[in-house]
Structures are given as structure tokens and as C-alpha cells.
Amino acid sequence: MEPLHEEKLKYLEELANRIRQTLIGTLLEAGSGHSAGPLGMADIFTALYFHVLNHNPKAPNWEKRDRLILSNGHICPVRYVAMAYAGYFPLEELKTLRKLNSRLQGHPHRTALPGVETTSGPLGSGLSQAIGVALAARLDNKKYWVYCVTSDGEHQEGNYWEAVMFAGKQKFHLNNLIVIVDRNNIQIDGFTENVMPLEPLGDKYESFGWHVNEIDGHNTTEFVDAVHEAQAIFEKPSVIIAHTIPGKGVSFMERDYTWHGKPPNKEQAEQALKELRTLGQRIKSEHE
């Protein structure tokens, strides 16, 4: 992975804003889907697809590609938009999100869309899938990285912690596995710490033998630095706990768990786009 220079950082921040704007239009067109999580993870998915991942949109099954596993499949709109901007499919196809016979289902479908590594839906299962992919890489002596994006709410699943324990076993040395936790503190029923407290989350991972890094999930430099650090860890898997704001960039969505699983209507979308355009102008001026 190349160093993150100022010009590239500017590009990534401006692109993340465009991705958020496209997300709003995509969700409005679909009339269903999740808003808060995708908006909150736009910075990270932009960094992944346009700086971190070793991949080729024109050859999505390229053998040497890094593998990106999306465990919390309901935030797939942000992955779809990032993939479209990266060139996996035309931007126009985003209008088919959640439509009948669309390749862009409400949860990613592995056989429907090239570039999607796994089918996700049941929360808490993605880490186990990622571990299998990472183990396969080790057995086949392959050098690709395995990234697994998870939600904080998934950590309330018992099978998730079985996977954390398995990956941390020293026998496996899964140093090719990097987990990214979207620590946005919300789930469909409310705030995570009210539904089922997760803290101290980082200490729990450390107790299972993981390398832990906690970052601001909206700071692209922090995220890229955390990935660099994880790639330098040789004896254990790594987790990046990314603290994000659900609904980031849209004032009436931010930190409101009721936006976990619903799209904006026309008036709300217009207001959201207005705010994001203003934010885009501010981002641009900050780099001038």
C-alpha cells in the first residue's frame, strides 16, 4: 500500500462526500434500505476501495486480490456505491438497489455480483467466513490480505466470540486477517450500551490475543495508519475499532438509531443532499 500523500487524502475525502450523496439518491430510489450505517462508513469504504485494497475491478476474481468480507451485510449500499465508483459496474445500476432481479440485493449475494466475496445476512457470521478465507490463504501460501467489516451490534452474538477466540489461537497465526469494527453505538432497537453493553470492547479483543487499534472512523489518515500498523503485526490477527457517527454528514440522521433501517423520503433526501453539498464545499476549501 502506497503512502497517503496530501493530494490523495484530498481526493479520498471529496470522493467520500460524493459517495454519501450518491447513497442518498440510491436509497431514495429504492424506497427501502439502511441509511445510518452506510453514511457512517463512507470514509472507510472509500479508503478501502481507492487506497487500501489490492484489487482489480476489471478482473474481480483476480487470484492475488485482497478479500473484503462484509459481515454486517445491511450496510451494503455503501459498498455498492464505492464499487460502482471504482468501476465494478455502471453507476446507473445503483438505481436497481433492492429491485426484483437486481444484482444489488438488500444483503450482498456472492453469485450475483462479481467482486462480492461472500453472501451475508445473518449477523455474527462474517468473521467465521473471513477466518476460513484467511486460513485458506495460509494453507495455499497466498499473500493476500483478508479484511472483515463488522458491526458493533454483531458482538452481541455468541458465535462471534467463538470466532474471535479461534482466530486468536497462537497455533494459527492469522496475521493476514484485519477486522474493522463499525463502532457507531447503535442498532435497530436502540443504543448498543442500552441493549447489551459491549465495553470494554478493545480489552476483550486483547484478552483473546488480538492486536487492537482504536481510531476515529472519519479520519482517513488514522484509518490508513492503522492498516499499516496491522500489516506490520506478524504473530496475531488485528482489529481496528473505528468509532463512527451513524448518519454522518446529515444532521437529522446523525446519532439517531431510528435511521438504522430506513431510507429518506423525497423531502428528507433533498435536505440531506443540501447539507452534503455544503460539506463538500467545506472539504474542498480546507485543502486549498
Cβ proximity of 239 and 203 under 8 Å: no
Residue 284's pLDDT is what?
87
pLDDT in tens, the chain (288 residues): 888 999 999 999 999 999 999 999 999 999 999 999 999 999 999 999 999 999 999 999 999 999 999 999 999 999 999 999 999 999 999 999 999 999 999 999 999 999 999 998 789 999 999 999 999 999 999 999 999 999 999 999 999 999 999 999 988 889 999 999 999 999 999 999 999 999 999 999 999 999 999 999 999 999 999 999 999 999 999 999 999 999 999 999 999 999 999 999 999 999 999 999 999 999 988 877
Q: Which SS3 state, helix, strand or coil, does residue 151 take?
A: strand
Residue 173's pLDDT is what?
81
Residue 172's pLDDT is what?
83
**Dist. CA 241–CA 225, nearest whole Å:** 13
Residue 252's pLDDT is what?
98
- Burial class of residue 143 in the structure, from the number of CB atoms within 10 Å of its CB (0-12 exposed, 13-18 middle, 19+ buried): exposed
Residue 1's pLDDT is what?
84
**Dist. CA 210–CA 238, nearest whole Å:** 6
Residue 283's pLDDT is what?
92
Cβ-Cβ contacts under 8 Å for 195 (sequence gap 6 or more): 153, 156, 187, 189
Tell me yes or no: is domain 6-286 CATH 3.30.9.10: no
Residue 249's pLDDT is what?
97
